[in-house]
A and B are shown apart, each in its own frame.
Chain A
Amino acid sequence: MIQLQNLSFAYKKKLILNGLTLDFEPGHVYGLLGKNGTGKSSLLRNIAGLLRPQRGSIKVNGHTPFDRLPLFLEDVFMVPEEFYLPDVPVSNFIAYYAPFYPRFEVEQFRKYISIFEIPEDNTLQNMSYGQKKKVLISFALATRARVLLMDEPTNGLDIISKSQFRKIMAEAMDDDQCIIISTHQVKDLEHLIDRITIIDEGRILFNETMDSIARKLSFRFAHGPEDIATAYYNESSFGGTVVVTHNTTGEESKVDLEFLYKAIVTNPATSKSFHQ
C-alpha cells in the first residue's frame, strides 16, 4: 500500500530522513514513535504529498504523493497536529467538503461527532482546539480513505475524549485501510496499534508487530539483581523495578509501549534481539 524506497528528506541542509526503506500494509495500525525532531511529522507529510523527498521514492496506492492527483488525495487523509478548519458551521463543512471524497459516509460522521458530543450547529472557529480536532478526526474516518495519517491525534483531547477516540477508531477501522499514527502519548493508543515503527536520527531503528514484541520481550517486575543486570532496560517504580527483558518462558506479557520505546532507544541490543 505504501512503499518507501531509500527515502531521504532534508529541510534546507538539515537531513531529517536518511535512506528509509519501509512498507506499510493495509489492515494494520502503525505506531510511529521517536524523539522530537527525528522526522516523524516530515515522514507523514512526505507520504501525504505535502513535501517532496530529496532522494528515493514513495508510492502510495501506486501514486507518487507529490503529484497530488485528485485520485490520490481522495484516498489519503491526514490529521496534522496543528491544523486549520474554515469558519463555517459543522453542517456546512460537511456539505462543501464531503463531496470531494466519493466514499464519504455522512451517517458515520454524524455518529462519530455525537459520540464526541459535538453539536452540529456550532461554527468551527468558535470551538476549542480539542473540539475542532474531534471534528477533523470524525471527518477523516468518515472519508473511508484507505490511508489515514494522524500526527499526535490525542494531543488536546481530554481523558474522556481519549477513550471516545479509541472506541471510534476501533469501530471505524477496515481491513483495506492503513493507519499510521505518530505519537508521543503511547499509553493512549496502546490497544489500537498493532505494529511499532521507531525512527531515530532519520533512520528506522525498530519495526515489529505487537505479537512479535510480546513473543520476544517480557515486561515485568524484576525477580532479583541478576534479572536487572541482564535486562535490556530497567526502571524503578512503586512496586519494584520494572524490566524489559528477553522472553525466555514463552509466556506473553502485556507490551508496555513506553518501556519498549525506552529500551529500544537506550539499548541497541533490544532491537538486535529481534534479528537473532
Chain B
Amino acid sequence: MNQFFAQKRFSLLVLKHWADNKKRYTLSLLAYVGLLITWFTFGLIIMGIPEGSGLPEEVQRTTFFFSLFAVGTFYASQYFSDLGSREKGSHFLLVPASHFEKLLCSVFFTMILFPLLLIACFYLVDIIMVAIANSFSANRPNGGRSTVTNIFEVALINFNSKRAIYLLPFSLSITSLFLLGSVYFKKYNFIKTIITGFVVCLLFFFLVYVVTQHILPEKADDYYFSKIAHWFPTFVQVLAYAVAPLSWVAAYYVLKGKQV
C-alpha cells in the first residue's frame, strides 16, 4: 500500500476521528443552533418587530461570518492541540496512517465538513427566522419584507464587477493559519496564533509604510498606481487564497518533525 496516501487508511482515519469526537461535535452543533435561535429571536423582539425592520441582511451576514470566523478558527486551533500533551500526542502520532493522511483528515474536518455543517445549520435557522420576521411585518402597515441573505456573494474586497475576494473562501485561509498554529504551538495554540498574526500584520503594515514613503518615487500619484492596477488585484487575490494551501504545506512539515 502507498505509504504517502491510501484511500482506505484515510477513510479509516476519518471514521476514527468521527467516532472519537461525534458526541462533542453533535453537542456543539446543537449549541450553535440554539444560540442562533436565541440571538435572532432577541434581535426580532428588541428591534425587528417594534421597528418593523424584520431581520436585515446585514444582521444575518454579520451573524454568520462572526460565527464562521470565531468558531472556525477556534476549532482549527484545537485540532492538533493533543500534540501538546505527551499521552494524547503519542496516541495521535502512533496511529498507523501517514502524516499526509492525518493532515488531510484535519483539513477535511476543519475546512470542508465544519463550514458545510455551519452553513446548513445557519440556513436551517435563518430561513425559519426570516419567515417568522415576515409573518410579523405582514401585519404592520409599513413593515418591510426581510430576505434570506446569500452568504456566498459577500466580498471582503471588490476590485471591480468581475473580480473580488469573497469572504467565504477567504475564511479558509484564516482557518488554515490557525490550523498551522495548532500543530506548531505546544500550548495556548489559539492565543499564540492570534498574537503571531497580530505581529505579522504589524510588520506587514510597517513594510507597506516603508515602501510607500521611502522606496516609491515621491510623485507616486494616482496615475502611477493606475499603471500597476491591472496586475495588483490578481496579485492580492492570489495572495488571499494562496495562504490556505501554503499553510497546509507548512503544517505538514511541522507535523512530520513533531516529537512528543
B9 to chain A: closest CB distance in Å? 6
Query: Considering only CB atoms, which chain A residue lies closest to B13 in the complex?
Result: A100
Would B88 and A100 count as touching, CB distance under 8 A?
no
Specify which chain B residues have a CB less than 8 angstroms from the CB of A85 in the assembled complex. Answer: 91
A58 to chain B: closest CB distance in Å? 14
Q: Would you call A52 an interface residue if the criterion is a C-beta within 8 Å of the partner chain's C-beta atoms?
A: yes
The B interface is mostly helix, strand or loop, or mixed, namely helix
A184 to chain B: closest CB distance in Å? 19
Would you list which residues of chain B between 178 and 203 have a CB under 8 Å from chain A? none
Specify which chain B residues have a CB less than 8 angstroms from the CB of A71 in the assembled complex. Answer: 1, 3
Would B87 and A80 count as touching, CB distance under 8 A?
yes
Tell me which of B6, B87, B98, B256 contacts A84 (CB under 8 A): B87
Query: Considering only CB atoms, which chain A residue lies closest to B97 in the complex?
Result: A70
Would A51 and B259 count as touching, CB distance under 8 A?
yes
A68 to chain B: closest CB distance in Å? 6
Specify which chain A residues have a CB less than 8 angstroms from the CB of B87 in the assembled complex. Answer: 80, 82-84
Would B259 and A50 count as touching, CB distance under 8 A?
yes
Contact-residue bracket for chain A = 20 to 34
Q: Would you call A73 an interface residue if the criterion is a C-beta within 8 Å of the partner chain's C-beta atoms?
A: yes
Specify which chain A residues have a CB less than 8 angstroms from the CB of B27 in the assembled complex. Answer: none
- The number of residue pairs between A and B whose CB atoms lie closer than 8 Å in the complex comes to 78
Tell me which of A45, A51, A74, A87 contacts B96 (CB under 8 A): A74
Bound together, the chains give a CA A101 to CA B98 distance in angstroms of 14
Assuming the contacts A48-B94, A78-B90, A83-B87, asked whether A99 and B3 have C-beta atoms less than 8 A apart, the reply is no
Bound together, the chains give a CA A100 to CA B16 distance in angstroms of 10
Tell me which of B3, B16, B85 contacts A70 (CB under 8 A): B3
Q: Would you call B95 an interface residue if the criterion is a C-beta within 8 Å of the partner chain's C-beta atoms?
A: yes
Q: Would you call B19 an interface residue if the criterion is a C-beta within 8 Å of the partner chain's C-beta atoms?
A: yes
Would A96 and B15 count as touching, CB distance under 8 A?
yes
Bound together, the chains give a CA A193 to CA B101 distance in angstroms of 37
1/0 per residue, CB under 8 A from A, across B64-95: the answer is 00000000000000000010011111110111
Would B20 and A100 count as touching, CB distance under 8 A?
no
Tell me which of A68, A86, A88, A92 contacts B99 (CB under 8 A): A68
Q: Would you call A31 an interface residue if the criterion is a C-beta within 8 Å of the partner chain's C-beta atoms?
A: no
Interface size in chain B (residues, C-beta < 8 A)? 30
Q: Would you call A153 an interface residue if the criterion is a C-beta within 8 Å of the partner chain's C-beta atoms?
A: no
A136 to chain B: closest CB distance in Å? 10
Q: Would you call B214 an interface residue if the criterion is a C-beta within 8 Å of the partner chain's C-beta atoms?
A: no
Would you list which residues of chain A between 34 and 77 have a CB under 8 Å from chain B? 45, 48-52, 68-71, 73-74, 77
Specify which chain A residues have a CB less than 8 angstroms from the CB of B19 in the assembled complex. Answer: 86, 88, 92, 95-96
Bound together, the chains give a CA A87 to CA B21 distance in angstroms of 8
Bound together, the chains give a CA A23 to CA B42 distance in angstroms of 70
Tell me which of A69, A73, A82, A87 contacts B94 (CB under 8 A): A73
Assuming the contacts A51-B259, A70-B97, A96-B16, asked whether A84 and B91 have C-beta atoms less than 8 A apart, the reply is yes
Specify which chain A residues have a CB less than 8 angstroms from the CB of B257 in the assembled complex. Answer: 52
A155 to chain B: closest CB distance in Å? 14
Specify which chain A residues have a CB less than 8 angstroms from the CB of B91 in the assembled complex. Answer: 83-85
Query: Considering only CB atoms, which chain B residue lies closest to A93 in the complex?
Result: B19
Query: Considering only CB atoms, which chain B residue lies closest to A100 in the complex?
Result: B96
Q: Would you call B120 an interface residue if the criterion is a C-beta within 8 Å of the partner chain's C-beta atoms?
A: no
Tell me which of A49, A68, A70 contacts B9 (CB under 8 A): A70
Bound together, the chains give a CA A92 to CA B21 distance in angstroms of 12
Tell me which of B9, B82, B85, B260 contacts A100 (CB under 8 A): B9
Would A80 and B99 count as touching, CB distance under 8 A?
no
Specify which chain A residues have a CB less than 8 angstroms from the CB of B90 in the assembled complex. Answer: 45, 48, 50, 78, 80, 83-84
Query: Considering only CB atoms, which chain A residue lies closest to B89 in the complex?
Result: A50
* 14 pairs, CB–CB < 8 Å, chain A vs chain B: A52-B257, A70-B6, A70-B96, A71-B1, A78-B90, A80-B90, A87-B23, A88-B20, A92-B19, A96-B12, A96-B16, A97-B16, A97-B95, A101-B96
Query: Apart from A69-B3, A70-B98, A100-B97, what are 20 other A-B pairs with CB-CB below 8 Å?
Result: A45-B260, A49-B94, A50-B94, A50-B259, A50-B260, A51-B259, A68-B93, A68-B98, A73-B95, A73-B96, A77-B94, A80-B90, A82-B86, A83-B87, A84-B87, A84-B91, A86-B20, A88-B19, A96-B20, A101-B96
The chain A residues found within 8 Å of chain B, CB to CB, are 45, 48-52, 68-71, 73-74, 77-78, 80, 82-88, 92, 95-97, 99-101
User: When A and B form their complex, which 9 residue pairs have the shortest distance between CB atoms, in order from nearest?
Assistant: A73-B96, A74-B96, A84-B87, A86-B20, A96-B19, A100-B96, A84-B91, A96-B16, A84-B88
